[in-house]
Chain A
Amino acid sequence: MASSTFIHSAPQTGVRGFLRRIKLGEHFSLLITFAATVTILIIVGLLIYELASNSGEAFHKFGWKFITTSDWDPNNDVFGALPFIYGTCVTSFLALLIAVPTGVGAALFLSELAPPVISNALTFLIELLAAVPSVIYGLLGIFVLVPFIQDHLYPVLKQFSFLPLFQGQFYGVSFLSAGIVLSVMVVPFIISVSREVLLAVSTDQREAALALGATKWETTIQIVMPNASTGILGSIFLGLARALGETMAVTMVIGNTPKISASLFSPGYSIASVIANEFGEASPGLHLSSLILLGLVLFGLTIVINAIARVFIMATAQKGA
């Protein structure tokens, strides 16, 4: 009680006044929560500023030629990022090629076709799969997947060597291996976002279709899918953004050779991998600056794709509500 009289008689200004306001808590909690929110904006601002200012040297030197030339030679201070951009795009595209049909199919099963008990259990397991760290995927990639592809998948694909995609020698580490590892990594995200979007479609629509005599599959594909298609597209973009930025697993199986080759059997390199491999040892100056510029390219790419994904998902969420 004594302390409360003290508080009320305390002056309003200075440290004591500040402490009093803390005890009353009213403005203080507004202030501190607002400060935390502003901190986030500052962090994002700093992030963009650091990337932009530290990559300036490389951008001044090379300009847009940075992303259109393909010589990467730290010893002679020549930096062209095309092989990395190519590798990132090829592996991500390959990952989506495998992950989209699998992921969307599984999402349809989980949200529409499976009984709720089974669906919940499987969804739980798929969320656990999404939690597996990427370095673990890399570990399994090196020691299990690469030998498997070499022994079993390569002999099959070699039969199609009339296609430029499947030509040349295969050493295990390759675009193909990286793409397959990536596909396993993005599938859980495509499933869980697609499933949520599908579940947001109103039940009335399904019931109406079923009442008219449509089978479960017809309801799913003709009624539910069109309503959720934008959101599913969003989930695919989200998966794409994740694949583009994925570092460890790709670095461990892509072969880390800056090379542009049409063949999926060829080793390659990706933007994130070259940063991971060279950043720690790069000498300050043009090399480091070029790597940060690569980081900026990757940042820009994922931000744009993420922004598109969010718009798609929000558009569906509003339509479903």
Chain B
Amino acid sequence: MVQTISITRKITNVVMLTVTGLLTLIVVSVLFFILGYLLWHGGSSLSLQFFTQLPKPTGETGGGMANAIVGSGKILLLASLIGVPIGFLAGVYLAEYSGKSFAFLIRYVTDLLNGVPSIVIGIVAYALVVRPMKHFSTLAGGLALGIMMIPIAVRTTEEFLLSVPKSLREGSLALGATKSRTIFTVVVPAAMAGLTSGMMLNLARVAGETAPLLFTALGNMFWSQGWLQPSAALPVMIYQYAISPYDDWHQQAWAAGFVLLALVLTINITARLIIGRNPGSSRR
């Protein structure tokens, strides 16, 4: 009697282990499917032209997305210049200066900002930049992605600064350094590996964003001069090419998808390796 109960329990145990393990395996295999499919489809459509030439009009074969690659680079640079300093400094304030309840409020607000759908951020960037200036621009796209970078920048900075041991701070203060000196010459450098990789992950996350660029940077089949003209971006290009009815545009979309995915995953893996090598500062 006791024996049978024990066996059913054992069987349940094994069955559930297998079932949950299989579920995990299914999820992970989706990643390999995506990687494999893009490598196969996108890799074969990829050529040197893709990186050096402008898009060709429909009907002509060949052409590339050089303008979209540069455009994405410019938008991401702008986004980093907006999102990283604001997020970093606010993170320093939360970790080092702020009172508990104010820090709680800010944390909650940044979490909510993090949850705002990207398309809504696009609407706001449109209202703040595009409408007053009366035209779409790299600037508007950069602002949209910059706002999206802030929440993660804040949380990353705060977490990595708080993970720096107290003894380092006390040592610096005991040597007569002021508080701000301690923060910026002792604490921040000690957390540097974590901060860098956190910001890299943050950048990788917005690099693939499409929705907020649709009506801020808009898109452009040619080079975009300066910062105040509509600009192409890789993710937007993928979208436009994918929903087009032309087969050679679909091929280009696959190639662009491959480039974008390779970029995002490379940054991700590098950043995670950096965090992994500094286990003391990995609190995520």
Contact = CB atoms under 8 A, between A and B. Distances in A.
A binds B: yes
Interface of A: 24-26, 28-30, 32-37, 39-41, 43-44, 46-47, 50-51, 54, 101-103, 105-106, 108-110, 113-114, 122, 124-129, 131-136, 138-140, 142-144, 184, 187-188, 191, 215-218, 220-221, 238, 241-242, 244-248, 252, 272, 275-276, 279-280, 291-292, 295, 298-299, 302-303, 306-307, 310
A136 B261 contact: yes
B239 A133 contact: no
B81 interface: no
B133 interface: no
A261 to B, nearest CB: 22
B210 A41 contact: no
B123 A295 contact: yes
Closest 9 CB pairs of A and B: A133-B208, A245-B117, A36-B89, A33-B93, A109-B20, A306-B115, A29-B180, A247-B211, A106-B24
Given A26-B179, A108-B20, A252 B27 contact: no
B154 interface: yes
B31 interface: yes
B89 A106 contact: no
A119 to B, nearest CB: 9
Interface stretch (B46-54, B167-175, B191-199, B250-258): B250-258
Contact of A131 (B20, B92, B239, B268): B268
Contact of A33 (B89, B123, B218, B254): B89
A36 B93 contact: yes
A109 B20 CA distance: 5
Contacts of B246: none
B260 A136 contact: yes
Nearest to B85: A36
A50 B260 CA distance: 32
Contacts of A28: 180
Interface string B8-33: 01101100110111011011101100
Interface range on chain B (Cβ under 8 Å from partner): 35 or more
Nearest to A241: B115
A216 B10 CA distance: 9
A144 B38 CA distance: 11
B180 A279 contact: no
Nearest to A30: B97
A272 B30 CA distance: 25
Given A26-B179, A40-B106, A307-B112, 19 more contacts: A29-B92, A29-B180, A30-B93, A30-B97, A33-B90, A36-B90, A40-B86, A41-B106, A46-B128, A47-B116, A47-B147, A129-B30, A131-B201, A131-B204, A184-B30, A248-B210, A275-B123, A303-B115, A310-B111
B50 to A, nearest CB: 16
Given A40-B109, A132-B261, A135-B208, A272 B119 contact: yes
A140 B90 CA distance: 38
Given A40-B113, A272-B117, A144 B269 contact: no
B10 A215 contact: yes
B238 A128 contact: no
A272 B117 CA distance: 9
